[in-house]
């Protein structure tokens, strides 16, 4: 796999109509600098909004993947993204003068050809691979969809589809080498749908740019010729439609025996580009679709963002530790004698954190808090929980050193057992509510698996130089 980032050498354009909107669009690929990523730019809009290609900007997945930023949208981006990641392009500008890329022949090949014409330039920055080091799963019981990412020092995808249709049958396919297989084995594979779906889409006013030459239509029920003619007129197809004998509308021949499965893999390549970074993993998918792909990509992207933040603060990797005391000091403003977290051992950004506080007889508060019977003050246990919770906000605090997290309220506090010197306090905190400038946490502290304290609290995020402005936030 490539070790350095790359972009294209020169601009390349393609024009046509969009699959669903039927509107005309010229799309131009342009070179981009290191670490720019993949962005769609609506040049037909006054402010030329740039929409990053990541899951944060997905606004619809009903019939393809749609990205949006404010009022600006770009429909059906998955084939374009598949072409880009299939050719291992890291940085590229995609300018459009319309809302939907040209559909071409329903595959990624028209985009691939343009990008190959443009050529590639190797850049100076190393690629920031996300190497999957743990199993990540997505399961949809209702639709019998399963997607799994497994550790692997490469990028492979295996897909299985089974729509219980005689013409389609059960199909599977796998991509094991992007450089050797993508252009010839997967980029040419066209989109497909069932005849019943075609009717439903036409009734909704979609697939206005659909044609018998840019999609495979699988016949899943009989339809009288009169109704078939009306359907053709509704979607604006010039070629007369017929049921045929092969199970595919107009007896269209497949480019590969398992072309539908290969196209599902192509879609998945494009949707997983929304992670925002190249990955090293083995992906296994059963019956994937855009909704499941994007949900799975969100899980992987969260892992990617977490790993980036961990690398930022934890300079030395330690087994069983997410952040050691030195990393915690880089994140939190607290210092002796009020830094009450020694290490973080588990972290799910925006979800849960587990910290550890070793309680020793040297704690300064023991001198005044029952000297003859030293007990850790309950309010300090809650403070320790709050400090651990501050780690959860890393995703919302690009510059933690410029912010402070201050208590707004503490409720339902219960102290069930004294904490004394020699105890190891396990601090578990779960994010309940998160807003731009405040959050709510449910915390629990344990000693040897025994609950010793719990509380719910709210806190505000304020600028460090303006800690009094809680009410304004």
The per-residue pLDDT string of the chain (473 residues; one tens digit each, 9 = 90 and over) reads 789 999 999 999 999 999 888 899 999 999 999 999 999 999 999 999 999 999 999 999 987 899 999 999 999 999 999 999 999 999 999 999 999 999 999 999 999 999 999 999 999 999 999 999 889 999 999 989 999 999 999 999 999 998 777 767 789 999 999 999 999 999 999 998 888 878 887 777 777 777 777 888 888 888 888 888 888 787 777 788 888 888 888 888 899 999 999 999 999 999 999 999 999 999 999 999 999 999 999 999 988 988 888 888 998 989 899 999 999 999 888 999 999 999 999 998 888 999 999 999 999 999 899 888 999 999 999 999 999 988 887 766 666 677 777 888 999 999 999 999 999 999 999 999 988 778 899 999 999 999 999 999 998 888 877 655 544 33
249-273 b/e with 16+ CB inside 10 Å = b? bbebebeeebbbbbbbbbbbbbbbb
Task: Please give the distance of CA 418 from its chain centroid, rounded to a whole number.
Answer: 43
Q: Reduced to 3 states, what is the DSSP secondary structure of residue 466? A: coil
> What pTM was computed for the model?
0.81
- The reported pLDDT for the residue numbered 407 is 83
Please name which of 252, 259, 268, 291 lies closest in space to residue 190, comparing C-alpha atoms.
259
Q: How many CB atoms lie within 10 A of CB 311?
A: 11
User: Is 369 among the residues known to form the active site?
Assistant: yes
77: its two tokens: 């981006």
Q: What is the pLDDT of residue 473?
A: 34
Determine how β-strand 130-131 pairs with β-strand 279-286.
parallel
Query: Around Cβ 280, how many Cβ atoms within 10 Å?
Result: 17
- Partners of 279 in the beta sheet? 130
| Cα distance between residue 452 and residue 450, in whole Å | 6
Phi/psi of residue 148, nearest 5 degrees: -135, 140
Distance CA 195, CA 452 (A): 62
Whether the Cβ atoms of residue 443 and residue 457 lie closer than 8 Å to each other: yes
* pLDDT score of 471: 43
Positive or negative torsion for Cα 340, 345, 349, 353: negative
User: Domains of the chain (ranges plus CATH)?
Assistant: 4-124 (3.30.230.20), 136-311 (3.30.1700.10), 314-463 (3.10.129.10)
Torsion over CA of 87, 51, 156 and 183, rounded to 10 degrees? -30
Angstrom distance (rounded) from CA 266 to CA 216: 15
For residue 120, give the nearest of 83, 157, 156, 155 by alpha carbon. Answer: 83
Please give the pLDDT value at position 268. 97
* Contact (CB, 8 A) for 79 and 105: no
Q: What pLDDT, on the 0 to 100 scale, is given for residue 211?
A: 73
SS3 state at 21:
coil
- Matching residue, tokens 């400038």: 437
Please name the residue that has the structure tokens 């002796």. 336
**Strands laid side by side in the 38-42 sheet:** 12-17, 24-31, 92-96, 38-42, 50-52
Q: Which of 20, 290, 315, 334 is catalytic?
A: 290
Alpha helices in 88-131 (DSSP H): 109-118
Query: What residues contact residue 109 under an 8 Å CB cut-off, 6+ apart?
Result: 187, 188
Between the alpha carbon of residue 42 and those of residues 19, 47, 49, 52, 410, the distances in Å are 18, 9, 6, 12, 47
Contacts of 31 (CB under 8 A, 6+ apart): 7, 8, 9, 10, 11, 91, 92, 93, 121
Q: Is 20 a catalytic residue?
A: no
Between the alpha carbon of residue 40 and those of residues 200, 384, 395, 405, 414, the distances in Å are 29, 44, 24, 36, 52
Q: Which two tokens stand for residue 299?
A: 């899980």
The residues, any chain, with a CB within 8 Å of residue 370's CB and separated by 6 or more, are none
Q: What angle do CA 14, 235, 170 make, to 5 degrees?
A: 85
Q: How many CA atoms lie within 13 A of 412 on its CB side?
A: 10
- Spatial separation of the C-alpha atoms in residues 215 and 189, rounded to whole Å: 10
Give the pLDDT of residue 472. Answer: 38
* Contact yes or no for 33/91 (Cβ under 8 A): yes
Structure tokens at 437: 């400038």
Q: Which pLDDT value is given to residue 177?
A: 96
First-to-final CA distance of the chain = 47
Q: Which residues contact 367 (CB under 8 A, 6 or more apart)?
A: none
215 close to 209: Cβ distance less than 8 angstroms: no
362 SS3 class: coil
* H or E segment to which residue 301 belongs: helix 290-313
CA distance 472 to 425: 35
Task: Evaluate the omega torsion of the peptide bond into residue 337 and state whether it is cis, within 30 degrees of 0.
Answer: yes
């Amino acid at each position: 796999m490539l070790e350095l980032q790359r972009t294209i050498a020169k601009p390349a354009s393609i024009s046509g109509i969009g699959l669903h909107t039927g509107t005309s669009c010229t799309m131009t690929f342009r070179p981009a600098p290191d670490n720019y990523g993949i962005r769609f730019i609506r040049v037909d809009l006054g402010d030329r909004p740039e929409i990053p290609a990541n899951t944060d900007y997905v606004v619809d997945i009903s019939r393809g993947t749609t990205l949006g930023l404010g009022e600006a949208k770009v429909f059906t981006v998955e084939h374009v993204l598949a072409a880009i990641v299939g050719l291992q392009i890291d940085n590229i500008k995609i300018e459009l003068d319309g809302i939907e890329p040209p559909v071409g022949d329903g595959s990624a090949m028209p985009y691939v050809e343009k990008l190959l014409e443009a050529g590639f330039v190797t850049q100076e920055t190393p690629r920031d691979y996300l190497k999957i080091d743990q199993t990540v799963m997505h399961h949809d019981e209702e639709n019998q969809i399963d997607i799994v990412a497994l550790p692997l020092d490469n990028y492979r995808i295996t897909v299985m589809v089974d729509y219980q249709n005689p013409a389609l049958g059960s199909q599977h396919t796998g991509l094991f080498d992007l450089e050797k297989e993508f252009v010839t084995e997967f980029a040419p594979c066209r989109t497909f749908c069932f005849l019943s779906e075609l009717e439903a889409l036409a009734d909704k006013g979609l697939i206005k740019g659909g044609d018998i030459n840019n999609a495979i239509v699988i016949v899943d029920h009989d339809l009288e010729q009169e109704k078939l003619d009306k359907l053709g007129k509704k979607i604006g197809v010039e070629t007369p439609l017929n049921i045929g004998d092969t199970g595919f509308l107009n007896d269209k021949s497949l480019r590969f025996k398992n072309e539908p499965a290969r196209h599902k893999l192509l879609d998945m390549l494009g949707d997983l580009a929304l992670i925002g970074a190249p990955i090293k993993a083995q992906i296994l998918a059963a019956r994937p679709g855009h909704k499941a792909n994007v949900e799975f990509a969100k899980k992987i992207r969260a892992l990617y963002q977490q790993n980036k933040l961990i690398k930022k603060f934890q300079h030395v990797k330690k087994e069983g530790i997410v952040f050691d005391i030195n990393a915690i000091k880089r994140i939190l403003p607290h210092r002796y004698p009020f830094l009450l977290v020694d290490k973080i051992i588990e972290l799910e950004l925006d979800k849960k954190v587990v910290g550890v506080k070793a309680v020793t007889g040297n704690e300064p508060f023991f001198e005044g808090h029952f000297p003859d019977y030293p007990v850790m003050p309950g309010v300090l246990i809650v403070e320790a929980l709050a400090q651990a919770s501050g780690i959860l906000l890393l995703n919302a605090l690009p510059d933690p050193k410029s912010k402070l997290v201050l208590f707004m309220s503490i409720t339902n506090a219960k102290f069930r057992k004294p904490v004394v010197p020699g105890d190891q306090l396990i601090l578990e905190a779960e994010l309940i509510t998160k807003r731009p400038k405040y959050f709510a946490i449910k915390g629990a502290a344990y000693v040897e698996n025994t609950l010793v304290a719990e509380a719910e609290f709210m806190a505000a995020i304020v600028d460090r130089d303006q800690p009094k402005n809680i009410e304004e936030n």
